[in-house]
Structure 1
Amino acid sequence: MIFTALIFGFLGSLHCVGMCGPIAFMLPVDRKNQVKQVFQISSYHLGRLTTYSFIGLVFGILGKGFELFDFQQHLSIATGTLMILLVVTPTIFRKIKFTNPLNRFIIQVKSKLGKELKTKGTSTFFSIGFLNGFLPCGLVYMAVLGAITTHNVLLGSLYMFLFGLGTIPLMSAVVYFGNFTSGLFRRRLQQIIPIAVVAIGILFILRGLGLDIPYISPTGAVSNLVEQSQVCH
């Protein structure tokens, strides 16, 4: 299940191109020095991956708490159901209202991001990527749901790292070639994204049900819960 993060990242990277593409295209890269350009773009991606890994670590801790209370299977089912609902009713994202402290944080991130885009220091590209990773994004929210279901701090961090890794090819192409995606290509990939999300959501549901399907819906977790319950009684 951990590698569903790569699918999220790769298939959803066209969404990233639409949302964060302008930031990537505005990177103050050295167009005349190819070696330096590769280093700068890599530094930008490293910044994003660092942020995503940190977010995954935080939500991995949250998932670990659910595991301690034996909610891991219910959480997996709930996560899969929510993913499917978010595809069926995407307007849910538009209704999300952030609290004032979080709003202030996002405003500060955008402000610092704007300042970093105007500079050309050595650490600028890492800083831009790091700040970029904190910007609100529906695709990131879905990846976070997957990170929670890992019930593990390191796996949660790895899940978000792989998610970010999947976005690198298209995001790098934006830096090199600008808005290279044609209207037809964009529409076709946009049609694939919901299907992929629903498929991953179904996988999470099957995982939580424990139907004794190898690699997809193992019963090991269910058996452990039953044994723990018998011991308690």
Structure 2
Amino acid sequence: MLASGFLLGLLGSLHCIGMCGPIALMLPVDRNNKAKQTLQILSYHLGRIIAYSIIGLLFGVLGKGFKLLGFQQQISIIMGILMILAITLPSIFKKFTSYNPFTKWIIRIKSLLGQELKNKRNDTFFTIGFLNGFLPCGLVYMALLGAIAMHNITYGSLYMMLFGAGTVPLMTGVIYLGNFTSLNFRNNIQKIIPIVVVIIGLLFIVRGLGLGIPYISTSNTISITTDTIKGCH
């Protein structure tokens, strides 16, 4: 299931190009020194991935809390259903996500981003990437549902880390080559993204059902037995 985070980031990164691409294109990288440019770009990506990991850790705590309350499998099913509903009923999802109690905080982040884009300090690129990671994004919301469904603090963070890593190839291409994909190619990929999200949602539902499928949906009996053995020790 962790691999689904990377897959979501990889295939969804064309969406990232539209949302975060302008920031990537505005990075004040050194075009005359390829080695330095590469380090600057890696620093930018590292900042984004660390930001995603922190958010994943926080939502992993939420998932862990549900697990401790005995809702481990139910949460996996609910998160999967929410992923599917977000794709099949986008208007409802947009209304839900349009309410943002952190509006002032997001405005502050955008302001700091604008200031950092004017700088060329050694830490500028990491800072830009880090701030970029906290901007609201529909694809990130999908990944966070997956992080909650991990119902584990470490795995929640790792899920978002893999999601961020999945976005690196295409986002790097944007920085080096600009908007290098054709409109037709982007449109075709955009059609695939909802299918991928629905498949991942279904996997989380199957996982929560405890059907005894190795690595995807372990049975309730195995889970209970394991917990009992741990308790004995």
TM-score of the alignment, normalized to the shorter chain, above 0.5: yes
Q: Residue 84 of structure 2 corresponds to which residue in structure 1?
A: 84
SS of 2:136's partner is coil
Task: For residues 67-120 of structure 1, give each alpha carbon's deviation from its aligned partner in whole angstroms, at most 9, with x where no partner exists.
Answer: 1011010000001111011110122343123344x1100000000000101111
Output the TM-score relative to the length of structure 1: 0.93
Paired letter, 2:4:
T
1:52-77 CA distances to partner (integer Å, 9 max, x unpaired)?
01001101111110010110100000
Note if contact 1:210-1:222 (Cα within 8 Å) is conserved in structure 2: no
Match of 2:17 in 1: 17
* Post-superposition offset of 1:10: 0.2
Determine the C-alpha separation between the residues in 2 that align with 1:187 and 1:99: 29
CA displacement 1:150-174 (0-9 Å, x = unmatched): 1111111111000000000000000
Instruction: Decide whether the 8 Å contact of 1:21 with 1:171 is kept in 2.
Output: yes
Q: What secondary structure does 2:2 align onto? A: coil
Aligned pairs, how many?
226
Deviations 1:110-156, CA, capped at 9 Å, x for gaps: 00000101111111000000000010000000101111111111111
Contact residue 93 and residue 138 of structure 1 kept, 8 A? no
Name structure 2 gaps, 5 residues minimum: 229-233
Alignment match, 1:54: 54
Q: Aligned residue for 1:185?
A: 185
**Alignment match, 1:176:** 176
Distance in 2, Cα, partners of 1:15 & 1:162: 17
> What is the root-mean-square deviation in Å for CA atoms of aligned residues?
1.5
Structure 1, unmatched stretches of 5+, are 229-233
Corresponding residue for residue 211 of structure 1: 211
The question of 1:158 aligning with 2:177 is answered no
1:144/1:221 CA distance change after superposition, 3 Å:
farther
SS of structure 2 residue aligned to 1:12: helix
- Tell whether 2:103 aligns with 1:97: no
